[in-house]
Protein backbone atom coordinates (compact mmCIF):
# COMPACT_ATOMS: atom_id res chain seq x y z
CA UNK A 1 0.00 0.00 0.00
CA UNK A 2 2.85 2.41 0.80
CA UNK A 3 4.51 2.04 -2.60
CA UNK A 4 1.32 2.10 -4.64
CA UNK A 5 -0.64 4.72 -2.71
CA UNK A 6 1.27 6.83 -0.23
CA UNK A 7 4.68 7.07 -1.88
CA UNK A 8 3.38 8.53 -5.17
CA UNK A 9 1.65 11.27 -3.16
CA UNK A 10 4.61 11.85 -0.82
CA UNK A 11 6.98 12.06 -3.77
CA UNK A 12 4.95 14.91 -5.31
CA UNK A 13 5.95 17.07 -2.35
CA UNK A 14 9.36 18.61 -1.69
CA UNK A 15 11.43 15.97 0.16
CA UNK A 16 12.24 18.10 3.18
CA UNK A 17 8.63 19.24 3.56
CA UNK A 18 7.40 15.67 3.47
CA UNK A 19 10.00 14.70 6.05
CA UNK A 20 8.48 17.26 8.42
CA UNK A 21 4.94 16.03 7.64
CA UNK A 22 5.94 12.46 8.38
CA UNK A 23 7.60 13.53 11.64
CA UNK A 24 4.36 15.36 12.52
CA UNK A 25 2.27 12.30 11.70
CA UNK A 26 4.51 10.07 13.79
CA UNK A 27 4.16 12.46 16.73
CA UNK A 28 0.36 12.47 16.38
CA UNK A 29 0.28 8.66 16.25
CA UNK A 30 2.53 8.54 19.28
CA UNK A 31 0.26 10.85 21.27
CA UNK A 32 -2.96 8.88 20.73
CA UNK A 33 -3.37 6.46 23.63
CA UNK A 34 -3.27 2.89 22.47
CA UNK A 35 -2.25 3.72 18.91
CA UNK A 36 1.45 3.40 19.57
CA UNK A 37 0.94 -0.02 21.13
CA UNK A 38 -1.21 -0.99 18.14
CA UNK A 39 1.57 0.12 15.76
CA UNK A 40 4.11 -1.76 17.81
CA UNK A 41 1.98 -4.86 17.73
CA UNK A 42 1.54 -4.61 13.95
CA UNK A 43 5.10 -3.70 12.93
CA UNK A 44 7.30 -5.51 15.43
CA UNK A 45 8.61 -8.98 14.78
CA UNK A 46 9.22 -10.41 18.22
CA UNK A 47 11.41 -13.47 18.30
CA UNK A 48 14.37 -14.12 20.56
CA UNK A 49 16.35 -15.57 17.64
CA UNK A 50 16.55 -12.00 16.28
CA UNK A 51 18.10 -10.70 19.50
CA UNK A 52 21.76 -9.81 19.47
CA UNK A 53 24.14 -9.00 22.31
CA UNK A 54 26.72 -6.49 21.17
CA UNK A 55 29.09 -4.30 23.19
CA UNK A 56 27.09 -5.03 26.31
CA UNK A 57 23.71 -4.10 24.80
CA UNK A 58 20.94 -6.53 24.00
CA UNK A 59 19.36 -5.48 20.68
CA UNK A 60 15.82 -6.87 20.18
CA UNK A 61 16.46 -7.18 16.43
CA UNK A 62 19.31 -6.18 14.10
CA UNK A 63 17.51 -3.52 12.03
CA UNK A 64 17.91 0.09 13.11
CA UNK A 65 17.14 3.51 11.75
CA UNK A 66 20.26 5.41 10.69
CA UNK A 67 21.33 8.86 11.86
CA UNK A 68 19.84 11.91 10.22
CA UNK A 69 16.18 10.92 10.29
CA UNK A 70 15.55 11.84 13.93
CA UNK A 71 18.14 14.58 14.28
CA UNK A 72 16.56 16.12 17.39
CA UNK A 73 15.47 12.95 19.18
CA UNK A 74 11.79 13.73 18.69
CA UNK A 75 10.32 10.48 17.39
CA UNK A 76 12.55 7.68 18.68
CA UNK A 77 9.65 6.03 20.54
CA UNK A 78 7.47 6.12 17.41
CA UNK A 79 10.29 4.74 15.25
CA UNK A 80 10.74 1.93 17.72
CA UNK A 81 7.01 1.22 17.34
CA UNK A 82 7.64 0.71 13.62
CA UNK A 83 9.68 -2.34 14.54
CA UNK A 84 13.20 -0.92 14.48
CA UNK A 85 15.53 -2.59 16.97
CA UNK A 86 17.40 0.64 17.68
CA UNK A 87 17.30 4.31 16.73
CA UNK A 88 20.34 6.50 16.13
CA UNK A 89 19.53 10.13 16.89
CA UNK A 90 21.50 13.12 15.59
CA UNK A 91 23.89 14.22 14.33
CA UNK A 92 23.78 16.42 17.43
CA UNK A 93 26.11 19.42 17.71
CA UNK A 94 26.75 21.39 20.92
CA UNK A 95 24.95 24.51 19.68
CA UNK A 96 21.80 24.62 17.59
CA UNK A 97 22.49 25.43 13.93
CA UNK A 98 20.25 25.92 10.88
CA UNK A 99 22.29 23.84 8.42
CA UNK A 100 22.79 24.75 4.78
CA UNK A 101 20.42 26.92 2.73
CA UNK A 102 17.43 25.14 1.14
CA UNK A 103 16.91 23.30 -1.13
CA UNK A 104 19.30 20.77 0.35
CA UNK A 105 17.59 17.40 -0.07
CA UNK A 106 16.93 15.84 -3.49
CA UNK A 107 15.27 12.63 -4.64
CA UNK A 108 16.77 10.73 -7.54
CA UNK A 109 13.95 8.26 -7.93
CA UNK A 110 15.23 6.68 -11.15
CA UNK A 111 18.31 5.52 -9.23
CA UNK A 112 16.58 4.88 -5.88
CA UNK A 113 18.79 7.50 -4.30
CA UNK A 114 18.89 10.75 -2.37
CA UNK A 115 21.42 13.56 -2.34
CA UNK A 116 21.54 15.71 0.77
CA UNK A 117 23.60 18.61 1.97
CA UNK A 118 21.62 19.26 5.14
CA UNK A 119 24.75 20.36 7.02
CA UNK A 120 23.99 19.13 10.54
CA UNK A 121 20.79 21.17 10.95
CA UNK A 122 19.72 20.46 14.52
CA UNK A 123 18.44 22.13 17.67
CA UNK A 124 21.61 21.44 19.61
CA UNK A 125 22.67 19.33 22.55
CA UNK A 126 20.48 20.95 25.19
CA UNK A 127 17.26 20.33 23.22
CA UNK A 128 18.29 16.77 22.42
CA UNK A 129 18.69 16.12 26.14
CA UNK A 130 15.25 17.62 26.85
CA UNK A 131 13.78 15.16 24.35
CA UNK A 132 15.79 12.17 25.56
CA UNK A 133 14.68 12.75 29.13
CA UNK A 134 11.16 11.88 27.94
CA UNK A 135 12.18 8.30 27.06
CA UNK A 136 9.46 6.00 28.43
CA UNK A 137 10.34 2.68 26.89
CA UNK A 138 13.51 0.61 26.72
CA UNK A 139 14.15 1.57 23.06
CA UNK A 140 17.88 1.43 22.35
CA UNK A 141 19.20 4.84 21.37
CA UNK A 142 22.50 5.68 19.73
CA UNK A 143 23.79 9.25 20.00
CA UNK A 144 25.47 10.40 16.80
CA UNK A 145 27.70 13.38 17.57
CA UNK A 146 29.41 16.02 15.43
CA UNK A 147 30.94 19.45 15.57
CA UNK A 148 29.33 22.80 14.86
CA UNK A 149 30.11 24.09 11.38
CA UNK A 150 31.83 27.19 12.75
CA UNK A 151 34.09 25.28 15.13
CA UNK A 152 37.60 25.10 13.65
CA UNK A 153 39.01 21.61 13.24
CA UNK A 154 41.89 22.40 15.61
CA UNK A 155 39.45 22.52 18.53
CA UNK A 156 36.76 20.20 17.13
CA UNK A 157 37.54 17.71 19.90
CA UNK A 158 35.92 20.14 22.34
CA UNK A 159 32.58 19.84 20.54
CA UNK A 160 32.81 16.04 20.60
CA UNK A 161 33.69 16.10 24.30
CA UNK A 162 30.81 18.43 25.10
CA UNK A 163 28.30 16.26 23.22
CA UNK A 164 29.69 13.09 24.76
CA UNK A 165 29.51 14.38 28.32
CA UNK A 166 26.09 15.97 27.75
CA UNK A 167 24.44 12.92 26.20
CA UNK A 168 26.22 10.33 28.33
CA UNK A 169 23.36 9.57 30.70
CA UNK A 170 20.72 9.54 27.98
CA UNK A 171 21.94 7.30 25.16
CA UNK A 172 23.04 3.67 25.03
CA UNK A 173 25.94 4.02 22.60
CA UNK A 174 27.77 6.77 20.76
CA UNK A 175 28.70 7.28 17.13
CA UNK A 176 31.45 9.75 16.30
CA UNK A 177 30.62 11.30 12.97
CA UNK A 178 33.58 12.73 11.09
CA UNK A 179 32.44 11.45 7.71
CA UNK A 180 29.60 13.75 6.72
CA UNK A 181 30.52 15.34 3.38
CA UNK A 182 28.36 18.41 4.03
CA UNK A 183 30.43 20.19 6.66
CA UNK A 184 33.43 21.89 5.13
CA UNK A 185 36.74 20.36 6.27
CA UNK A 186 34.99 17.76 8.45
CA UNK A 187 36.49 14.93 6.46
CA UNK A 188 39.97 16.13 7.45
CA UNK A 189 39.10 14.87 10.92
CA UNK A 190 39.22 11.40 9.39
CA UNK A 191 43.01 11.77 9.28
CA UNK A 192 44.62 9.44 11.74
CA UNK A 193 46.11 12.04 14.12
CA UNK A 194 42.97 14.19 14.36
CA UNK A 195 40.78 11.18 14.88
CA UNK A 196 43.06 9.60 17.47
CA UNK A 197 42.97 12.82 19.45
CA UNK A 198 39.15 13.01 19.45
CA UNK A 199 38.65 9.33 20.27
CA UNK A 200 41.33 9.24 22.98
CA UNK A 201 39.80 12.26 24.65
CA UNK A 202 36.33 10.67 24.57
CA UNK A 203 37.77 7.47 26.01
CA UNK A 204 39.28 9.47 28.88
CA UNK A 205 35.83 10.78 29.81
CA UNK A 206 34.35 7.34 29.20
CA UNK A 207 36.80 5.56 31.46
CA UNK A 208 36.18 8.04 34.25
CA UNK A 209 32.54 6.92 34.44
CA UNK A 210 31.36 4.08 36.70
CA UNK A 211 30.14 2.24 33.59
CA UNK A 212 31.53 3.18 30.17
CA UNK A 213 29.40 3.47 27.01
CA UNK A 214 30.26 1.93 23.63
CA UNK A 215 31.83 4.34 21.12
CA UNK A 216 31.66 3.65 17.38
CA UNK A 217 33.22 5.53 14.50
CA UNK A 218 31.14 6.32 11.40
CA UNK A 219 33.16 6.21 8.20
CA UNK A 220 32.76 7.38 4.63
CA UNK A 221 32.19 5.02 1.70
CA UNK A 222 34.82 7.04 -0.17
CA UNK A 223 37.77 5.76 1.89
CA UNK A 224 40.34 3.68 0.02
CA UNK A 225 41.83 0.45 1.34
CA UNK A 226 44.86 2.19 2.85
CA UNK A 227 42.52 4.49 4.77
CA UNK A 228 40.46 1.48 5.85
CA UNK A 229 43.64 -0.13 7.20
CA UNK A 230 44.13 3.06 9.22
CA UNK A 231 40.58 2.74 10.54
CA UNK A 232 41.39 -0.78 11.76
CA UNK A 233 44.51 0.57 13.50
CA UNK A 234 42.56 3.44 15.04
CA UNK A 235 39.92 1.10 16.47
CA UNK A 236 42.66 -1.07 17.97
CA UNK A 237 44.74 1.80 19.35
CA UNK A 238 41.90 3.82 20.84
CA UNK A 239 40.03 0.69 21.99
CA UNK A 240 36.73 2.01 20.68
CA UNK A 241 33.93 -0.52 20.28
CA UNK A 242 33.19 -0.63 16.58
CA UNK A 243 32.49 1.03 13.25
CA UNK A 244 29.39 2.25 11.42
CA UNK A 245 29.95 1.70 7.70
CA UNK A 246 28.99 3.83 5.86
CA UNK A 247 27.89 7.46 5.56
CA UNK A 248 26.91 9.12 2.27
CA UNK A 249 29.26 9.44 -0.71
CA UNK A 250 30.56 12.43 -2.66
CA UNK A 251 30.75 10.22 -5.75
CA UNK A 252 27.99 10.30 -8.35
CA UNK A 253 27.55 6.68 -9.44
CA UNK A 254 24.21 7.39 -11.06
CA UNK A 255 22.93 5.49 -14.07
CA UNK A 256 19.81 7.39 -15.04
CA UNK A 257 20.76 11.05 -14.78
CA UNK A 258 22.94 13.04 -17.14
CA UNK A 259 25.84 15.28 -16.23
CA UNK A 260 23.76 18.47 -16.40
CA UNK A 261 21.04 17.10 -14.14
CA UNK A 262 23.63 15.96 -11.60
CA UNK A 263 25.49 19.27 -11.73
CA UNK A 264 22.23 21.17 -11.25
CA UNK A 265 21.77 19.47 -7.88
CA UNK A 266 25.23 20.49 -6.71
CA UNK A 267 27.20 19.25 -3.71
CA UNK A 268 25.96 16.75 -1.20
CA UNK A 269 26.14 13.18 0.00
CA UNK A 270 24.67 10.44 -2.16
CA UNK A 271 22.75 7.65 -0.41
CA UNK A 272 20.61 4.69 -1.38
CA UNK A 273 21.13 2.11 -4.11
CA UNK A 274 24.28 3.70 -5.65
CA UNK A 275 26.22 3.29 -2.36
CA UNK A 276 25.02 -0.23 -1.58
CA UNK A 277 27.83 -2.17 -3.21
CA UNK A 278 30.72 -0.02 -1.92
CA UNK A 279 29.31 0.00 1.58
CA UNK A 280 29.09 -3.82 1.55
CA UNK A 281 32.64 -4.05 0.16
CA UNK A 282 33.89 -1.86 3.00
CA UNK A 283 32.13 -4.00 5.60
CA UNK A 284 33.67 -7.13 4.08
CA UNK A 285 37.12 -5.55 3.93
CA UNK A 286 37.03 -4.37 7.54
CA UNK A 287 35.70 -7.68 8.83
CA UNK A 288 38.17 -9.81 6.87
CA UNK A 289 41.26 -7.64 7.29
CA UNK A 290 40.72 -7.17 11.04
CA UNK A 291 39.81 -10.82 11.58
CA UNK A 292 36.42 -9.66 12.80
CA UNK A 293 38.13 -7.81 15.63
CA UNK A 294 35.24 -5.41 16.29
CA UNK A 295 31.48 -5.07 15.65
CA UNK A 296 30.26 -3.32 12.51
CA UNK A 297 26.92 -1.64 11.91
CA UNK A 298 26.27 -1.90 8.18
CA UNK A 299 24.40 0.91 6.44
CA UNK A 300 24.13 2.07 2.85
CA UNK A 301 21.57 1.18 0.22
CA UNK A 302 19.51 -1.37 2.14
CA UNK A 303 16.03 -1.60 0.64
CA UNK A 304 15.16 -5.27 0.89
CA UNK A 305 15.79 -8.25 3.13
CA UNK A 306 18.29 -9.52 0.56
CA UNK A 307 20.29 -6.29 0.86
CA UNK A 308 20.30 -6.55 4.65
CA UNK A 309 21.29 -10.21 4.68
CA UNK A 310 24.08 -9.42 2.19
CA UNK A 311 25.52 -6.90 4.66
CA UNK A 312 25.17 -9.30 7.60
CA UNK A 313 26.91 -12.01 5.60
CA UNK A 314 29.67 -9.58 4.64
CA UNK A 315 30.44 -9.10 8.33
CA UNK A 316 27.95 -6.59 9.73
CA UNK A 317 26.48 -7.41 13.13
CA UNK A 318 23.57 -4.99 12.82
CA UNK A 319 22.17 -2.96 9.93
CA UNK A 320 20.55 0.44 9.55
CA UNK A 321 18.35 2.04 6.92
CA UNK A 322 17.57 5.59 5.89
CA UNK A 323 16.98 5.96 2.14
CA UNK A 324 15.38 2.51 2.04
CA UNK A 325 12.87 3.64 4.66
CA UNK A 326 11.86 6.58 2.43
CA UNK A 327 11.47 4.37 -0.65
CA UNK A 328 10.09 1.17 0.92
CA UNK A 329 7.96 2.62 3.71
CA UNK A 330 7.14 1.76 7.31
CA UNK A 331 7.14 -2.04 6.85
CA UNK A 332 10.85 -2.18 6.02
CA UNK A 333 12.06 -3.41 9.44
CA UNK A 334 9.25 -5.97 9.66
CA UNK A 335 10.00 -7.34 6.18
CA UNK A 336 13.72 -7.63 6.83
CA UNK A 337 13.29 -9.26 10.24
CA UNK A 338 10.77 -11.77 8.89
CA UNK A 339 13.16 -12.69 6.07
CA UNK A 340 16.06 -13.14 8.50
CA UNK A 341 13.93 -15.57 10.52
CA UNK A 342 12.89 -17.41 7.39
CA UNK A 343 16.51 -17.76 6.34
CA UNK A 344 17.36 -19.15 9.80
CA UNK A 345 14.66 -21.79 9.44
CA UNK A 346 15.81 -22.90 6.01
CA UNK A 347 19.51 -23.11 6.85
Ligand X SMILES: Cc1cc2nc3c(=O)[nH]c(=O)nc-3n(C[C@H](O)[C@H](O)[C@H](O)COP(=O)(O)O)c2cc1C
Q: List contacts with ligand X (CB under 6 A).
A: 66-68, 71, 90-91, 105, 114, 116, 118, 144, 177, 180, 218, 247-248, 271-272, 275, 299-302, 321-324
Closest approach of Cβ 305 to ligand X, in Å? 14
Whole-number minimum distance, CB 215 to ligand X, in Å?
A: 14
Q: In the complex, what is the shortest distance from the CB of residue 4 to ligand X, in angstroms, rounded to a whole number?
A: 22
Minimum separation from the CB atom of position 282 to ligand X (A): 12
Nearer to ligand X, 214 or 272 (CB): 272
Who's near 219: CB < 8 A, 6+ residues apart?
179, 190, 228, 231, 243, 244, 245, 246, 247, 282
Tally the C-alpha atoms within 13 A of residue 135's C-alpha that lie toward its C-beta.
20
Q: Quickly count: other Cβ atoms within 10 Å of residue 330's Cβ.
A: 20
Q: Is residue 18 packed enough to be buried (19+ CB in 10 Å), middle (13-18) or exposed (0-12)?
A: middle
**Any idea what DSSP says for residue 208?**
T
Minimum CB separation of residue 59 from ligand X in Å reads: 17
Of 37, 129, 43, residue with least CA distance to 85? 43
CA distance 89 to 72: 7
How many other CB atoms sit within 10 Å of the CB of residue 104? 19
Q: Quick one: 272 or 330, whose CB is closer to ligand X?
A: 272
Cβ proximity to ligand X, 50 vs 275, nearer residue: 275
Plot region of 197 (φ>0 → left; ψ -120 to 50 → alpha; else → beta) = alpha
**Who's near 308: CB < 8 A, 6+ residues apart?**
62, 63, 302, 319, 336, 339, 340
Indicate the length of the chain as a whole number.
Answer: 347
Closer of 36 and 141 to ligand X (Cβ): 141
Nearer to ligand X by C-beta: 113 or 287? 113
Closest residue to ligand X, judged by C-beta, is 68
Shortest Cβ 279–ligand X spacing (Å): 7
Q: How far is the CB of 128 from ligand X (least distance, A)?
A: 12
Measured from the CB atom, is 91 or 238 closer to ligand X? 91
Amino acid sequence: MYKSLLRPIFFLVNPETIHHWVMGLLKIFGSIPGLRSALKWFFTVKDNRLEKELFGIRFPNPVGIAAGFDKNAEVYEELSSLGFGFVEIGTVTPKAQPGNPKPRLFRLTKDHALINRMGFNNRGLEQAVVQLKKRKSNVIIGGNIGKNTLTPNAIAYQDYEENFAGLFDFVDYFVVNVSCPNISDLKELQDQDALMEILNRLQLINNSKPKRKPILLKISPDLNNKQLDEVIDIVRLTKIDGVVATNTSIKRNLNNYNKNEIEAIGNGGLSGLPVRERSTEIIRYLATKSGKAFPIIGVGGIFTAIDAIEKLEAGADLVQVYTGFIYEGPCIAKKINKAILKQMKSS
